[in-house]
Amino acid sequence: MRKWLSYLLIIAGVLVLLYPKASEWYDTRQQEKLMDEWEDAIPDETAVDVAQQEYDNLTALFNEFEEEEEEPTAEPTAEATVEPTATETPVKSIATIKIASINLKLPVLEGATQKNMKSAAAHLSETAPFGQIGNAAIAAHRMKTKGRLFNRLNEVEVGDEIVIETKKETFTYTVYDVSIVEPTDVSVLNYNNRDKLLTLITCDPVVNPTHRLIVHAKLVT
């Protein structure tokens, strides 16, 4: 009996150690699946009422992901598992975002939720639609793994191009400002009635983030 219990504890320990990699693999597979399927998506039309609330919610989402990326420290138990949730409701991309200067290409989902941001960038639902007058905002996690999601967003420079491709159109924005702001600074979503803007939002720094990294871009006409 003790021999079998020892085997179970060893197996459980291995599963706990493998869980972060298994979870990362699953999220990456979800991202790849979304990239493959995004062309079939139909963008949702939304109102513009709760952008500030969605922006405020990013703080909680960023903090949750920071905790999830930490290596597990609990003692292994026989109940440990690496099974990812495989029965979640399928989601469809509304667009892709490409930044050639940092070799980035991601699916974009509608709504900044924990589920959406695990494997994609998220359009803040109540900000402007892509390519229209106003300020379209996209948020993504600054993962610790090199190149994942918005991990390299800090390398973007003024003058770089950001390409948003929807099912019907392609929009090319040029970066005009990169800044670090407090998490409470909602002025990053400001806009006027002339320009077609794009704002990218992530946390900063990568480890133990306290601020937000903001990239502002304007549509090329």
What are the pLDDT digits (tens) for 52-61?
A: 777 878 878 8
Cβ–Cβ < 8 Å for 175, 158: yes
% of the chain surpassing 70 pLDDT: 65
Say if residue 48's pLDDT is above 80: no
Half-sphere exposure of 41 (CA within 13 A, CB side): 25
Q: Which two tokens stand for residue 125?
A: 């639902």
Say if residue 214's pLDDT is above 80: yes
Q: Which two tokens stand for residue 193?
A: 């009635």
Cβ–Cβ < 8 Å for 201, 214: yes
| DSSP H/E element including 19 | helix 2-37
Say if residue 18's pLDDT is above 80: no
- Provide the strand spans (E) within 72-184: 95-99, 104-110, 121-123, 134-139, 161-165, 170-181
What are the pLDDT digits (tens) for 56-114?
A: 788 788 877 666 665 443 333 333 333 444 555 567 899 999 999 999 999 999 999 99
Say if residue 29's pLDDT is above 80: no
Weakest-pLDDT range from 23-32, 155-164, 171-180, 194-203: 23-32
Domains of the chain: 2-219 (2.40.260.10)
DSSP bridge pairs for 3: none
